[in-house]
Amino acid sequence: MKPLYLIRHARNKVRHWQIPLEDIEQAILDPDATRPSMRNRVNYWRRWRNAWLRVTIVEEPGRIVVITVTAKKKGPEAEQ
């Protein structure tokens, strides 16, 4: 897997929700669902604690840029 780079917004969310980086990597490597997002972004969904973890990324040639990380009560089926 390419190295992860979290933009400031994603780092703030990780601190707020106290999400280990391993959980973010696991959501990207082994998601429960994936959904396209805007501007070539992809949402990766994974069950996390008693909620859903949504990781929004954009892939660049040398790294994976994490745009945001969000804990949600409803899963990917709610966003269609």
On average, the pLDDT of the chain sits at 94
pLDDT digits (tens, 9 = 90+) for 43-71: 999 999 999 999 999 999 999 999 999 99
pLDDT at residue number 77: 84
pLDDT at residue number 34: 96
- Sheet strand arrangement including 4-6: 4-6, 64-72, 51-59, 42-48, 33-36
Whether the predicted pLDDT of 80 surpasses 70: no
Segments forming the whole domain that contains residue 28:
4-74
Whether the predicted pLDDT of 1 surpasses 90: no
Indicate which CATH number applies to the domain containing 68.
3.30.2310
Question: Nearest to residue 9, comparing CAs of 72, 66, 73, 48?
Answer: 66
Residue 71 has φ and ψ, to the nearest 5°, of -95, 130
Question: Nearest to residue 66, comparing CAs of 7, 18, 13?
Answer: 7
Residue 62 resides in a domain: yes
Residue 79 resides in a domain: no
Residue 69 resides in a domain: yes
DSSP 21: H
Residue 13 resides in a domain: yes
